[in-house]
Structure 1
Amino acid sequence: MNKKIIAVISSITILTTLLVGCAEDKITGKPEKNNEIKSVKLIVPDGLPSIALSKLIKDDKKIGSVNIESSIEKTTEALTSDILKGEPDIAVVPSNLAAQAYNKGIGYQIVGTVGWGSMFLVSSDPEIKTIDSVKGKEVCNIGRGLTPDIVFKGVLKNKGIDAEKDLNLSYVSAASELPPLLISGKTKIAVVPEPALSAIEVKKKDLRIISDLNEEWKTILSSQYGFPQSTLIVKERLLKTNKDFVDKFIKSVEQDVNWVTENKKETASISKELGITINNAIVPKALEKANIKFVNIKETKSVYKKYFEKLKEFEPKNIGGKVPDEKIFGE
């Protein structure tokens, strides 16, 4: 046989083998060759989540050979838009947004929780002593349909109180709008998250915490943690093709979150350096009630399931219409 013909046949055979091999990798879901990533995009919302990951954002510019491109998103609207477009590879989001994104098929999975419930019902009205006593009163909250609203209404419903009928709800668009209202006395009852609460307590000495809403959710969910407030999500394709990197990243998150809770003053300095929107002077105080703690999803699947089931009972659209199936959990 002509040598040229043999060479052509050999080349075709080799190419066919390579193509079949690549196809088999896609079918089995195993990482393909030459699939090493060079960088990933991390987005974290301004406030407690960015404080929790502040050391990671500042120091961990690279994990192994992978560059970490971190950014702090200043508004809930922008964060939601980023996630629903599937822009970041990794992000910290409100847990109900993680459910919405999954139900829309955007391709994110939950790998852990960075922060648990850190929201409080507070009042400067001496007549308000329990959650039940807010009936007939005006209560200010942040953003209708956002996490503070969902969490508060859930607690009310669990106590047999109809939020829409039994009290007057008013809303501000951001937590930063609550301090001047409460300090001036224009608002006497409100649902306030940390770190806004610490900022208010410094100037409003007659403000009292009526209820730690996370303690209420511990009972509702039968959980030692309460409700998952800040959820760490990762693109499914990243988990499938670069699991070693994801495992190392999760380990870094755990270590850095622990460092933040143990080094409050240093964290305040880092937060200022990163431009996180909080007076760095109150960061150490805020961290005392911030409930920042990283927990791997392997330990808390049942908590998320119960939480999503409760949110579906309260308002299905808050989680995208249905309780996500088991595939929302990435391991």
Structure 2
Amino acid sequence: MKKTVMTILVLMIAAFATGCSEKASEKPAEPVVFKFMEGVTAITAGSMISEKPEMGRDVEYEIISSPDLLASSIIQGEADMAIVPTNLAAQARAKGADYVIAGTATWGNLYIVGTEAMESLDGLKGKTVQTFGKGLTPELVLNMVLAEEGIDPEVDMDLEYMNSAAEVAPLLVSGKTSIGLLPEPALSSALAKNKDLKVLFDINKLWAEANKVEKGYPQSCLVVKKELVEEDPEFVEKFLEEYSKSIEWALENPEELGTISEEHSLGPDSESIVNGIGRMNIGQFSVGESLSEYRAYYKSVMDFDPEFIGGSIPDEEIYYER
């Protein structure tokens, strides 16, 4: 009897020890690296950055200081998730970086502003327009919208390129130039400082009309590494749910969002967010509901400048299916 009891005890201890050993050998999941540029894209994740919602895994929120650093990080596969320019998502895929587009962070938020009202883009003929983003999205979409109206920017007008929107805004505010291209939040700041300035044309709206789509062009999107989707689909779904809530919250709470932006150094100041949230074109996140916009964007860019999206239109597998 004693021998039987001892045998049972030995087996129980062995089983317990084995279970403890297995638990000890289990490694916690690696933190998920989420990268994005400062600016409007950063504030789309504002409430997540502030509240750090529980999603089953730790998330490292990393603000990138320059477009080149972000592009390098994506092409090298360093980020698990990121908010990137939509053309970069295609470029990265063409170079073998296996990311999928999970949704839209921002739609186009570029505007032509000036001191004199114009009825159509024809009013720009013969004018000098201060702009920025040579070789990047601002140049591409502006030129495509102008071309749709039969305007050749190299012949019919004078586009003067600055290094950034931060250089265009002071020229408009001071009155040294009367027409310029600005994005949000730089636009709201300029309008507040010079009451004679007004929005002349919404580039996103003109793009939507030209391409016969509802929402315009997807300026930036959320991409997720395909490996993460396959290894931890539950986390990915939870993250997308929280990010979508963050976008909705941002639109409904601009004053609180402004405070978060300043506290976490996300870029836009509180006043610009409060005044410009409607023009920032945040929202309508789901990629599944915007496939026509993405297809129109990639087709238009392919016709205009193939290298801007890596030389070819990305295949349909670039879109994440929920």
State the AA in 1 paired with 2:45: L
Match of 1:208 among 198, 203, 225: 198
- Alpha-carbon shift at residue 313 of structure 1 (Å): 1.2
Structure 2 match to 1:97: 88
CA-based RMSD: 1.7
Cα distance, 1:226–1:127 mapped onto 2, change above 3 Å: closer
Cα distance, 1:173–1:165 mapped onto 2, change above 3 Å: same
Check the 8 A contact 1:44/1:93 in 2, yes or no.
yes
Counterpart Cα distance in 1 of 2:280 and 2:150 = 28
Local SS of the residue matching 2:122? helix
Cα distance, 1:112–1:314 mapped onto 2, change above 3 Å: same
State the AA in 1 paired with 2:77: G
Structure 2 match to 1:40: 32
Counterpart Cα distance in 2 of 1:203 and 1:316 = 39
Cα distance, 1:127–1:248 mapped onto 2, change above 3 Å: closer
- The question of 1:55 aligning with 2:53 is answered no
Counterpart Cα distance in 1 of 2:73 and 2:40 = 19
Cα distance, 1:131–1:300 mapped onto 2, change above 3 Å: same
- The question of 1:309 aligning with 2:299 is answered yes
- Alpha-carbon shift at residue 217 of structure 1 (Å): 1.5
Structure 1 spans left out of the alignment, 5+ residues = 1-33
Counterpart Cα distance in 1 of 2:226 and 2:30 = 17
State the AA in 1 paired with 2:114: S
Check the 8 A contact 2:40/2:268 in 1, yes or no.
no
Local SS of the residue matching 1:88? coil
- Alpha-carbon shift at residue 329 of structure 1 (Å): 0.9
Counterpart Cα distance in 1 of 2:220 and 2:293 = 13
Check the 8 A contact 1:61/1:68 in 2, yes or no.
no
Local SS of the residue matching 1:293? coil
Counterpart Cα distance in 1 of 2:88 and 2:244 = 22
**Pairing of 1:4-83 with structure 2 (within 5 A):** 37-60=29-52, 62-64=54-56, 66-83=57-74
- Alpha-carbon shift at residue 276 of structure 1 (Å): 2.0
Structure 1 match to 2:161: 171
- Alpha-carbon shift at residue 36 of structure 1 (Å): 7.3
Counterpart Cα distance in 1 of 2:30 and 2:73 = 21
Check the 8 A contact 2:34/2:59 in 1, yes or no.
yes
Match of 1:293 among 262, 277, 283: 283
Counterpart Cα distance in 2 of 1:40 and 1:275 = 21
Structure 2 match to 1:84: 75
Local SS of the residue matching 1:164? coil
Deviations 1:48-100 (A, max 9, x none): 11111111122226411x11100112222222222222211101111111111
Counterpart Cα distance in 2 of 1:142 and 1:79 = 19
Counterpart Cα distance in 2 of 1:175 and 1:294 = 26
Counterpart Cα distance in 2 of 1:213 and 1:236 = 33
Deviations 1:164-190 (A, max 9, x none): 232222222222222211111222211
Counterpart Cα distance in 2 of 1:135 and 1:318 = 27
State the AA in 2 paired with 1:276: L
Counterpart Cα distance in 1 of 2:137 and 2:27 = 37
Counterpart Cα distance in 1 of 2:131 and 2:233 = 40
Check the 8 A contact 2:84/2:223 in 1, yes or no.
yes
Local SS of the residue matching 2:223? strand
Counterpart Cα distance in 1 of 2:266 and 2:188 = 16
Cα distance, 1:68–1:294 mapped onto 2, change above 3 Å: farther
Deviating beyond 4 angstroms after TM superposition, the runs of 4 or more aligned structure 1 residues are: none
Local SS of the residue matching 2:60? strand
Match of 1:194 among 184, 207, 214: 184
Deviates more, 1:247-256 or 1:166-175: 166-175
Structure 2 match to 1:16: none
Structure 2 spans left out of the alignment, 5+ residues = 1-25
Counterpart Cα distance in 2 of 1:163 and 1:84 = 32
